[in-house]
A and B are shown apart, each in its own frame.
Chain A
Amino acid sequence: MTGPVAIRARRVFWEVDGRRIVGPIDLALSRGECLAIVGPNGAGKSTLLRLLAKLIEPTSGTLVSGEDDYSQISRRDLARRVAFVPQNRAHGSDFTVRQWVLLGRFPHASRWQIGVVPDDVRAVDEALTMTGALDLQDRHLGELSGGEQQVVHIAAALAQEAKVLLLDEPTTHLDPQHQRQITSLLMRLRSETECSMVIATHDLNFAAQLGDRVMALRDGREMICDVPDRVISADLLGRLFETPFTVTRQGKRLVALVDYDS
């Protein structure tokens, strides 16, 4: 995929007390591209997403959105370009689904705007329709199942109308039914919108199915970033996770399983 670049990272490092957590990262995410990031616990997947969302500042290196350096863009302006769906979702249980999705409109609201403007209504309706959450709109977030909540969080990010979606472990803690639901939703978003996506995940099959490219991250460094066929291999996964894998192909799909027998 070689369209215009949505986000670019150049020699990005993030350190804490002189200890390198992530870096060096060089990355160019094309418009409409879906990049899956895989790697063991502590590899820096979530940290990389937080860097891309400007929730933390890189210790060195530059991040660019379109043509603009992150340091030149206000937080609000960046939020109109990049939306983030965090991993920790134990919030907002007192909001109704519609109120919660409406919060996604924050970067578009002016200080003097009282109440909701037609643009907000349109964006929220579109996001709820696209995610199939329209029927849930009057229910409280706390009443929903984990899968439904995840759908609503994705809807809130869509209402932000950003061209880049960053999703941190979107299928973790979900049962197979809801995993399938989220995977289908993200596949639909990939095919029906121009959104670029970066997804950090532990689910290798999900990454292989959804990613145009898969980045394997270990100790904060990129091992490889390539099409799924080249990354989801027994040899590479074995080195990445230091555990044996078997990888088979079922039709067009790659299936990676931990090899318990060897």
Chain B
Amino acid sequence: MSSVDRRLQGVLLLLGVWIAALLIYPMVGSQVLSWRDLFTGETTTAVIFWKLRLPRALLGLLAGGSLAVSGLTLQTLFRNPLAEPYTLGVASGAALGAVLALLLGGSGVGTSFPTVGLSSLLGALAVAAILVALSSSRFGGDSSTLLLAGIAISLSCSALILFVQFLADFTQTFRMVRWMMGGLAVVGFREVLWVSPIAISGVAILFGYRRELDLLLASDELASSRGLDLIRFRCVALGVTSIVIGGIVAVAGPIGFVGLIVPHILRRWLGHAHLYLIPACALGGGAFLTMCDLAARTILAPAELPVGILTALLGGPFFVWLLLRRRVVH
């Protein structure tokens, strides 16, 4: 019973951190805001708060949370701690879709957000479809093969992204490179409203599959013998995860390693039960990305570092540490 209490306490603590991130983030930055100015309706403060920082905080919380839950799901699906939206190629597929939209749309309508968004979703789903086709094939039960296939797809997408950049003109290339750095800079709530149904319903569906995910941690054979239809479940879970990732990448660009770092830390802290881990990742991932973004826009203030650079700087060494730790463990 005590371990249940401890895990529940952990989730509640993360809820507190999540709320704190939501309250602190909009007030801090190159210009520090005060709650009093906000409530008295001071114009500049209101514009910065409502137009810039609150939408950005909400986007960070949504994107970080759903990336962490997606990473957690992929790690469980492939039973591999190195699986995450980027190592599996789903995010790279989304990025390729978005970059193609930026190229084909030129500097006109194609650069507008919904086109990039839909194209990004299609890219993520295309990679998911390849992974699903592989998982439905006779090699379907082999998680390592799927993971290696994902890494190969990811590398191919990266090469295609470079090819698209090679074809693009100077302005398009600049826009692509800037977008590829990943960032949460939005104005107004349009992007947040677009991405929240995808992110929230995706996380809710994955939470509904918490028992299936628990079972998958055992082994494919054991999960199957306990009544789990492995191929069908992999297809559904990969499909849902890809839609979530496609939606996030469309708005925020490729923000790497959140899906790797957050689930690992939380798993070590709270154990393996997805009943607790999924809400913990949704809250912890959101708070983590929002706080990273806060650091990214204050470290070099008034200049802003794209948050994708910061998460990649943290994630790279973490990835290596994880690899080394796996070697030691095995």
Contact = CB atoms under 8 A, between A and B. Distances in A.
Interface string A57-78: 0000000000000000011111
A25 interface: no
A45 B102 CA distance: 58
Contact of A86 (B3, B225, B275): B225
Given A84-B221, A88-B219, 18 more contacts: A55-B225, A75-B227, A77-B227, A78-B227, A82-B225, A86-B225, A88-B221, A91-B217, A92-B218, A94-B272, A100-B218, A103-B215, A106-B227, A106-B228, A109-B211, A114-B275, A115-B275, A160-B226
A107 B224 CA distance: 10
Contacts of B218: 91-92, 100, 103
Contacts of B217: 91-92, 94-95
Interface residues of A, number: 33
A138 B208 CA distance: 26
A151 interface: no
A94 B226 CA distance: 19
B225 A91 contact: no
B208 A111 contact: yes
A179 interface: no
Size bin of chain B's contact surface: 20 to 34
B218 to A, nearest CB: 5
Contact of B225 (A79, A92, A95, A114): A79
A200 interface: no
A7 interface: no
B272 A84 contact: no
Contacts of A109: 211
Contacts of B221: 50, 55, 84, 86, 88
A95 B272 contact: yes
A76 B214 contact: no
A96 B3 contact: yes
Q: Which of B211, B221, B226, B229 has the most CB of A within 10 A?
A: B226
B271 interface: yes
B47 interface: no
Interface in B168-222: 208, 211-212, 214-215, 217-219, 221-222
A104 B226 contact: yes
A99 interface: yes
B129 interface: no
A75 B223 CA distance: 10
A84 B3 contact: no
B28 interface: no
B277 to A, nearest CB: 12
Contacts of B273: 99
A144 B180 CA distance: 48
A48 interface: no
B211 A106 contact: yes
Interface string B228-246: 1100000000000000000
A100 B222 CA distance: 11
A83 interface: yes
Contacts of A99: 272-273
Contacts of B226: 79, 103-104, 106-107, 160
A83 B222 CA distance: 9
Nearest to A80: B227
A251 B80 CA distance: 52
Given A75-B228, A106-B228, A107-B227, A86 B219 contact: yes
Top 4 closest A-B pairs, CB basis? A79-B227, A76-B227, A84-B225, A107-B227
A104 to B, nearest CB: 7
B219 A91 contact: yes
A107 B221 CA distance: 15
